[in-house]
Structure 1
Amino acid sequence: MNRKVALWLLWVGFIAYILLLAPPLHLQETLTLLKNIFTLQWLAINPIILSLFSLVGIWLLIYSGLLFIDGRMQRVPFWPFALASVGSGVLGLLPYLALREPNQEFSGQKDAFLLAYAFVLGDWGDFVQQFQGDRFINGMSLACCLFCLLFPTILGDDIARRHWNNPQVFWTVALVPLLGPLVYLCLRPPLPSTIREESLIPNR
């Protein structure tokens, strides 16, 4: 199936799932959860749920590390989708992934704790119950899974853009959820510093 069509179908399907099939939204409980998170009342929160919430933010930072550069070479800039994803997670990101074109060049100027916390201290029974009964927890959990599954769709271009064409690097990063992308961001070579004279938007 065409990549763009598949991404649009995934976007529409995830919205339909959240609205029609996911457990009901408990608004008061969700607002209390968010209040506890943002006021640092973390002892009142199941560590699994707190870790998932934090991991969504980490995934957005990982994607931003690749896509703000990528967006400079696209007809559609990335920053509006970055802002949208702050409030909606993967739902704000998917349209950009569907709209962007593969591009492996760059021109212009360059400008484990959570996992252990969740697994050791988390109440998995409580998490399963909330996953099955609360739309916010259910959607946030599935969003983390989608971040992992979708990362390879942008990884290949970033590796090629940095002249690091190595299939082993791609598959190692793609197949190790979260830790693979984090290590990649730490070890990837810098972008070439040369500036091409042609347009920032590649010919299609």
Structure 2
Amino acid sequence: MTLKLALWLLWAGFIAYILLLAPPLHLDETLTLLKNIFTLQWTAINPIILSLFSLVGIWLLIYSSLLFIDGRMQSIPFWPFAIASVSSGILGLLPYLALREPNQQFSGQKDAFLNLLDSRLYGIVLTLSTVVLLVYGFALGDWGDYVQQFQSDRFINGMSLAFCLFYVLFPAVVGDDMARRRFPNAEVFLAVVFVPLLGSLAYLCLRSSLVSSNIREESLDLLHE
């Protein structure tokens, strides 16, 4: 209950911060930035900002690899929150984290989509993409420009803080995923928790696959009715 309350307070607090305390929203500049991103006009964008935007997407894919599986065992599915998080980032994800119940089991059969999310190849592709983005941002980015935009632009400010929140909140879901896979090694858990982003990706690359079963299948059907 304490964790649920903390997650709801974090969700409300982040909304309040964005609306009341964050730097001003420069709508024209934000729309131009998004247009440049989606039309592949990347030379017009600071590589740090482009990398940060892409890494927020990487975080969403990391969470998806855990929470679509988790949602199978919950009274609420994850997919509506996944759709919401595509446009709102951490704000779309937080309500699911607050509503879900701790669960360390998995039952039923994995379909093709869950098999993809559960595969090590999925983690490897995300890891390679992340390394490219990090090298690109750190090597070619203009840090002075990024700091200036962080301090003066609501979109950049909020996106940067959201990236940090994805990291902070990851322990709320990875423990259950480890238990489902009988992966209770405390040292591995600490490595995943404390190494920003790359630790989470290493976990996706190293974790064992879930075993499909029919245990609790009937109970699961009743839960979703």
Instruction: Identify whether the pair has TM-score above 0.5, normalized to the shorter chain.
Output: yes
> Would you identify which runs of 4 or more consecutive aligned residues in structure 1 move more than 4 Å?
none
Q: 2:156 pairs with 130, 137, 140, which one?
A: 137
CA RMSD in angstroms, aligned pairs only = 1.4
Once residues 88 and 69 of structure 1 are traced to their aligned partners in structure 2, the CA distance between those partners, rounded to angstroms, is 21
Aligned residues: 203
Higher helix share goes to which structure? 2
Q: Is the 8 A contact 1:74 1:201 kept in 2?
A: no
Q: Given the alignment of the two structures, is residue 85 of structure 1 paired with residue 85 of structure 2, yes or no?
A: yes
Partner residue of 1:148 out of 167, 183, 192: 167
Once the two structures are TM-superposed, the CA of residue 193 in structure 1 deviates from its matched residue by: 2.2
8 Å CA contact retained: 1:73, 1:201: no
AA partner of residue 219 (structure 2):
S
Distance 1:196 1:51 in 2: 42
Q: Equivalent residues in 2 for 1:41-190 (5 A)? A: 41-111=41-111, 112-190=131-209
Distance across 1 between alignment mates of 2:2 and 2:39? 44
What's the secondary structure of 1:200's corresponding residue?
Answer: helix
- Cα displacement (A) at 1:202: 10
TM-score (norm 2): 0.87
Aligned-pair CA distance for 1:76: 1.1
How far apart, in 2, do the equivalents of 1:171 and 1:47 lie? 31
Q: Could you list the per-position Cα deviations for residues 125-159 of structure 1 after superposition, in whole angstroms to 9, with x for gaps in the alignment? A: 00000000000000000000000000010000000
Q: How much identity, in percent, do the aligned residues show?
A: 76
Which residue of structure 1 aligns with residue 125 of structure 2? none
The structural deviation recorded for 1:181 is 1.0
The alpha-carbon deviation at position 201 of structure 1 amounts to 7.5
Task: Report what 1:199 is aligned to.
Answer: 219
